[in-house]
């Protein structure tokens, strides 16, 4: 989930990396949506990763294109399947949703362009009809003067039609570009407002009591020789780090234990590409916000470093129709993640809390529309089980409307108690994105219901494909989990206990002690 690990200054990464600037959009959270709970999915034939779809071959927009005004009709790099009729028929609900999310999407402009498109389409059809009528007249015997008149009239109509069709293409592109800024609809139970309006839905455990002065993870890491931020700053820049000694074993233990726990729940393990096409990033709903983009892009290419495995896993079945029998598809993916952390600063972000590169285990589900709320609950239950097994004190939040990312219909965050920071810190989130991403990625399935019978069998009698729903959730973001474990399991002598579930994955090591 892209929300984990916030934002901070990210210009220190590498000279071959630049901050991405992706399509123009009048909304700060580049979102689109169609009907929500009753959305149905359409099956797409499962196939290997489709890395070279037609929508993914365009080059990343240049700064001049990215910053161009909307009225210049910039052609979008790709097109989401947007239900414009649904948006128009539900314009009051869509307008309210845009306000509740504090989005800049311009619904009035979208509806104006939509109506204008219909008017222009009728004009195109009228002129095309006149041109065809002239062509039919010329098939008969005509006086030379009449034939010449019809030739001139046909030529003029052809030129007029070409100009109208060009205007229609530009108008459709402009409409698409603006409509893709409309955020996903919101679950009716989501609290309205900013982050402070989020509601606690579950509180697990209690904060540990210490009979000695506690230390934060930075001090513990220094005394136990677990990190090196200074050397990493020299080598890579600020907000990078070396893990050392038992911290390396702890990272591997967290990753392997988490993968094994999630696989027990029927998830297929993946490792993913960590460089993806910028179009896939956009289709998953991640966009730069002014100068505070989270995404690193690669110069002279249309590629980006991933900020979460959600992006390459979301693209795994891009432009496909899945068989109904395959659903749900459940994946658990390991990847490294890269984030600019633009704008984040202060003592609360020090150490491992906000970094530019980290390891993460991400869960992702493709499912039928009617099942997505059920699987959202399953994902948050898996997260809570994992964190409970590690003995953490945490709370689960139903996040408020203004804190939802562009694709999220509903999002649950998990915040764990970090004694050294003396506060709860986000360690995970789980989002139901309904069909927001699948409409952009082109992922459908064909329901297996018996089609309507008729005297003749044809493709028209097949149940039409429908868009799947997608969900994602963080099972383990390593740096913040290391913070939690070090600070919650510190001992008076300066050592740190290893939680029992992780010990078999650390070669039986029970405690991290000072080096002699």
User: Annotation-wise, does 429 bind a ligand?
Assistant: yes
Residue 401's closest CA among 180, 107, 194, 189? 194
Q: DSSP of 445-509, one letter per residue?
A: EE--SPPPP-SS--GGGSPPPEEPEEEEEEEEEHHHHHHHHHHHSB-TTS-EEPPGGGGGGGTT-
Q: For residues 212-226, b (16+ Cβ closer than 10 Å) or e, as one string?
A: eeebbbbbbbeebeb
User: Annotation-wise, does 96 bind a ligand?
Assistant: no
Q: Which of 277, 339, 368, 446 is catalytic?
A: 339
Q: Verify whether residue 446 is a known catalytic residue.
A: no
Q: DSSP of 430-461, one letter per residue?
A: EEE-TTHHHHHHTEEEE--SPPPP-SS--GGG
Q: Verify whether residue 350 is a known catalytic residue.
A: no
User: Annotation-wise, does 341 bind a ligand?
Assistant: yes
Q: Which of 131, 354, 368, 446 is catalytic?
A: 354
Give the DSSP letter of residue 184: P
User: Annotation-wise, does 428 bind a ligand?
Assistant: yes
User: Annotation-wise, does 355 bind a ligand?
Assistant: yes
Residue 127's closest CA among 150, 152, 149, 159? 159
User: Annotation-wise, does 362 bind a ligand?
Assistant: yes
Structure tokens at 254: 């967290």
User: Annotation-wise, does 340 bind a ligand?
Assistant: yes
Q: DSSP of 116-137, one letter per residue?
A: HHHHHHHHHHHHHHHHHHHHHH
User: Annotation-wise, does 281 bind a ligand?
Assistant: no
User: Annotation-wise, does 271 bind a ligand?
Assistant: no
Q: Verify whether residue 426 is a known catalytic residue.
A: yes
Residue 86's closest CA among 434, 443, 323? 434
Q: Taking each helix axis as running N to C, give the angle between helix 246-263 and helix 372-389, from 0 to 180 degrees, rounded to the nearest 10.
A: 140
Q: Which of 42, 103, 335, 429 is catalytic?
A: 429
d(CA 323, CA 367): 11
Q: Which of 378, 383, 384, 426 is catalytic?
A: 426
The answer to whether 276 and 303 have CB atoms below 8 angstroms apart is yes
d(CA 117, CA 85): 13
Beta strand 320-323 with 443-446 is parallel
d(CA 103, CA 110): 14
Give the DSSP letter of residue 172: H
Q: Verify whether residue 282 is a known catalytic residue.
A: no
User: Annotation-wise, does 180 bind a ligand?
Assistant: no
394-397 contacts, C-beta under 8 A, 24 or more apart: 394/203, 394/204, 394/205, 394/424, 394/427, 395/200, 395/202, 395/203, 395/204, 395/424, 396/200, 396/201, 396/202, 396/203, 396/204, 397/198, 397/199, 397/200, 397/201
User: Annotation-wise, does 358 bind a ligand?
Assistant: yes
275 Cβ contact list (under 8 Å, min separation 6): 298, 303, 304, 305, 306
In what helix (H) or strand (E) does residue 376 lie, and over which residues does it extend? helix 372-389
The answer to whether 394 and 204 have CB atoms below 8 angstroms apart is yes
User: Annotation-wise, does 357 bind a ligand?
Assistant: yes
User: Annotation-wise, does 160 bind a ligand?
Assistant: no
What is the C-alpha radius of gyration for the chain, rounded to an integer number of angstroms? 27
Q: Verify whether residue 429 is a known catalytic residue.
A: yes
Q: What angle do CA 367, 373, 378 make, to 5 degrees?
A: 85
d(CA 495, CA 474): 28
For the annotated catalytic residues, the residue numbers are 339, 354, 426, 429, 480
Binding residues for L-serine: 308, 339, 362, 472
Binding residues: 308, 339-341, 355-358, 362, 426-429, 472
Binding residues for ATP: 339-341, 355-358, 426-429
């Amino acid at each position: 989930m892209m929300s984990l690990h916030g934002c901070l200054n990210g210009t220190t990464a590498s000279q071959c990396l630049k901050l991405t600037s992706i399509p123009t959009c009048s909304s700060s959270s580049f979102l689109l949506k169609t009907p929500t709970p009753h959305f149905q999915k359409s099956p797409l034939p499962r196939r290997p990763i489709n890395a070279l779809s037609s929508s993914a071959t365009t080059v990343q927009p240049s700064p001049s294109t990215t910053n161009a005004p909307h009225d210049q009709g910039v052609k979008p790099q790709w097109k989401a399947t947007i239900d414009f009729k649904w948006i128009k028929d539900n314009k009051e609900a869509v307008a309210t949703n845009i306000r509740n999310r504090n989005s800049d999407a311009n619904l009035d402009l979208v509806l104006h362009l939509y109506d204008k498109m219909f008017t222009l389409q009728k004009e195109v059809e009228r002129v095309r009809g006149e041109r065809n009528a002239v062509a039919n007249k010329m098939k008969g015997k005509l006086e030379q003067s009449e034939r010449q008149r019809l030739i001139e009239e046909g030529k003029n109509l052809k030129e007029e039609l070409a100009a109208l069709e060009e205007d229609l293409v530009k108008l459709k592109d402009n409409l698409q570009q603006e409509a893709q800024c409309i955020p996903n609809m919101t679950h009716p139970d989501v609290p309205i407002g900013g982050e402070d309006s989020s509601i606690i839905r579950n509180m697990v455990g209690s904060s540990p009591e210490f009979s000695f002065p506690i230390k934060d993870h930075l001090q513990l890491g220094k005394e136990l020789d677990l990190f090196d931020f200074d050397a990493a700053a020299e080598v890579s820049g600020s907000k990078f780090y070396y893990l050392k000694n038992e911290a390396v074993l702890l990272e591997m233990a967290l990753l392997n234990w988490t993968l094994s726990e999630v696989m027990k729940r029927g998830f297929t393990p993946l490792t993913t590409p960590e460089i993806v096409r910028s179009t896939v990033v956009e289709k998953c709903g991640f966009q730069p916000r002014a100068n505070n983009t989270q995404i690193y892009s690669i110069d002279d290419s249309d590629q980006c470093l991933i900020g979460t495995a959600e992006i390459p896993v979301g693209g795994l079945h891009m432009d496909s129709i899945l068989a109904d029998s395959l659903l749900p598809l459940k994946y658990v993916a390991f990847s490294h993640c890269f984030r600019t952390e633009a704008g984040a600063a202060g003592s609360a972000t020090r150490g491992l809390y906000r970094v530019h590169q980290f390891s993460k285990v991400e869960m992702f589900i493709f499912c039928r529309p009617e099942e997505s709320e059920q699987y959202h609950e399953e994902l948050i239950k898996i997260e809570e089980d994992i964190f409970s097994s590690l003995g953490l004190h945490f709370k689960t939040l139903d996040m408020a409307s203004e804190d939802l990312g562009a694709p999220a219909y509903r999002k649950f965050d998990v915040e764990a108690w970090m004694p050294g920071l003396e506060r709860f810190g986000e360690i995970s989130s789980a989002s139901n994105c309904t069909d927001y991403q699948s409409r952009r990625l082109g992922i459908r399935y064909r329901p297996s219901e018996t089609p309507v019978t008729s005297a003749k069998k044809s493709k028209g009698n097949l149940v039409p494909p429908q868009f799947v729903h997608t969900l994602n959730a963080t099972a383990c973001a390593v740096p913040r989990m290391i913070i939690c474990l070090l600070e919650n399991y510190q001992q008076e002598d300066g050592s740190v206990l290893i939680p029992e579930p992780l010990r078999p994955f650390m070669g039986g090591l029970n405690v991290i002690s000072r080096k002699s």
